[in-house]
Amino acid sequence: MIKECKHCGDVFRLDAIAKKSVGGKINECPDCVVELKTETAVRYTGLELEDTGSFMINRHATVEDREKYMHELKNGVDLSK
């Protein structure tokens, strides 16, 4: 689906990887979302703790924090402590 940005007038695709990664409202292009910092969604990750059978949910302030957390998790860093 093609949309026109309400801020700059550029045309962008809603299904583009850039749009999906930055979020923002449906009528905001990825560049404007980043520049104007209009993304307000809280980023969460969930992790099942194998030794206890429980589930841990983490809230991340930024997309970068979430990506760093996921990168460390995939590389075997114990983040449950």
Can you give the residue range of the structural domain that contains 17? 2-36
Instruction: Return the pLDDT at 46.
Output: 83
Number of C-beta neighbours around residue 32 at 10 A? 20
What is the greatest pairwise CA distance in the chain? 52
Q: d(Cα 16, Cα 60) in Å, to the nearest integer?
A: 23
28 and 49: one domain? no
49 and 27: one domain? no
- Tens digit of each residue's pLDDT (9 = 90 or more) over 12-33: 999 998 898 888 999 999 999 9
Instruction: Return the pLDDT at 49.
Output: 79
- CB 24 within 8 Å of CB 45: no
Residue 70 falls inside a structural domain: yes
- Tens digit of each residue's pLDDT (9 = 90 or more) over 33-79: 999 989 877 678 888 877 788 888 888 887 788 888 888 888 877 65
Residue 5's alpha-carbon distances to 9, 41, 79, in angstroms, are 5, 19, 39
Instruction: Return the pLDDT at 71.
Output: 87
Beta-bridge partners for 12:
3
Instruction: Return the pLDDT at 80.
Output: 56
Residue 80 falls inside a structural domain: no
